[in-house]
Amino acid sequence: MVSALRTSLKRTPLLRSAASVRLLSTAPKQPTLKERLAELIPVAREQVKAARVQHGKKSFGPVLVNQLYGGMRGLPALIWEGSVLDPDEGIRFRGKTIPEIQQQLPKAPGGSEPLPEGLFWLLVTGEVPTYEQVAELSKDWAARAAIPDFVEEILDRCPPTLHPMSQFSLAVTALNHNSAFAQAYAEGISKKEYWGPTFDDSMDLIAKLPNIAGRIYRNVYGRGKLPPIDVQKDYSHNLSALLGFGDNAGFVELMRLYITIHSDHEGGNVSAHTGKLVGSALSDPFLSYAAALNGLAGPLHGLANQEVLVWLTKMQAKIGEDASDEAVKKYRQVVPGYGHAVLRKTDPRYVAQREFALKHLPDDKLFKLVGQIYNIVPGILLEAGKAKNPWPNVDAHSGALLTYYGLTEMQYYTVLFGVSRAFGVAAQLIWDRALGAPLERPKSYSTDAINKIFKDKN
């Protein structure tokens, strides 16, 4: 009887219709970032193997002695998957220019700038994600965002006079305490599986940076307690809220643009190369990125945007807020933020920030001064023959935008750069472990050895 009742229920049209609706309304589940990466890694391994078979013994550019003494400038020596810097076109993220990623990457509802989560997905997979995939990544990072109590205590005990970048590096180093890769390596994980815990550490690293950055900002500048992470908000919104700017829609949009365009700039810059180098020793992503942050803290790298803003404010105080072009021309000082080691045109990251300013703050006095300099300085530098590349780079603009929205603490700016650059370094660390990148060990020479090599050569 029970069996007959069950059979009757299965044949009931109402139940059959409900089941059909349920099946029709269930969309196929999209892969997570880690699942998609697991599908891509075997293909990439074969591509690398084929490239080495086909090109492995080919010469790839001569090495000049001047390159050894000149900081290896322009020396082809690294593999970096996420981005390539073209001297004429600027940075390309997985082949895409900044205008292309601004157009193609998902945006927050009501927003106009790309979400950095989408840029990270692109760096890792080479693919443009859907908004749904990006939203899930935002939630994943929000769920991972809490930092251990002992790291909070470390930061709270730092004197406010300790530079924010020193505090940042210290906190990231301490996260190594819970490294999934370090634990897996100690347990004897297969080399082919290194990428898995490296991915997990990289996700944790990126997710925890806003809480670290926010705690440093509030401790150093007396901004009170941190609000909680909102799991319904995107990464940039949460970072903005932790800094005290979550209610400022313009600042949130700026952070989305800022993190995206600062995230990666191929592998030869100091922070990127340092992260890759330290990672090649199988140091986990926390140790690797802490080392990268120490490089980023240098005045020739991440501190440059701070130096530009100092120069701009001194100039503004000297010649006035509404100075003429002639007054700008007569202000004879070394101009920071102009020129680049590789680029031979205006940095597309500068252009993106300029377009943002024209949209959101066209009448701001400091922005107008930045614009005057942009129109005047390249011609002066070209005429004087003092620069092969007299065009502005990314540092020439970012400080003016942050100042407009009220983030005026210049010593802190490099921390925001550090949050951003983690995206590119982490993506490369994942791929280095997936592709079995070896320990880096270039050959060095002494000056005496160089002299001996060329002693009897013309």
Active site residues: 301, 340, 395
Q: Which residues of 313-329 are buried (b: 16+ CB within 10 A; e: fewer)?
A: bebbeebeeebeeeebe
Q: Copy the structure tokens of residue 358.
A: 């024209």
Which residue from 431, 427, 439 is spatially nearest to 44, judged by alpha carbons? 431
Q: Taking Cα atoms as reference points, which of 232, 256, 19, 271 lies closest to residue 141? A: 232
Contact (CB, 8 A) for 33 and 133: yes
Q: What is the DSSP string of 411-428?
A: GGHHHHHHHHHHHHHHHH
Q: Tokens 């933020």 sit at which residue?
A: 337
Query: Which residue, chain included where needed, has tokens 């210049």?
Result: 410
As to burial, measured by CB atoms within 10 angstroms (0-12 exposed, 13-18 middle, 19+ buried), residue 441 is exposed
Contacts of 405 (CB under 8 A, 6+ apart): 245, 248, 250, 251, 254
20 vs 31: CA distance, rounded Å: 24
Beta partners for residue 86, in sequence order: 90
Contact, 104 vs 16, CB < 8 A? no
Beta-carbon count within 10 A of 23 CB? 8
Question: 261: which residues sit within 8 A by CB, 6+ positions away?
Answer: 98, 349, 352, 353, 394
Helix axes 270-280, 413-434, angle to 10 degrees: 40
Please give the structure tokens belonging to residue 82: 């996420």
Give the integer Cα–Cα distance in Å for 208 and 188: 27
Using CA atoms, how far apart are residues 218 and 233, in angstroms rounded to an integer?
21
Rounded CA-CA distance 212/242 in Å is: 9
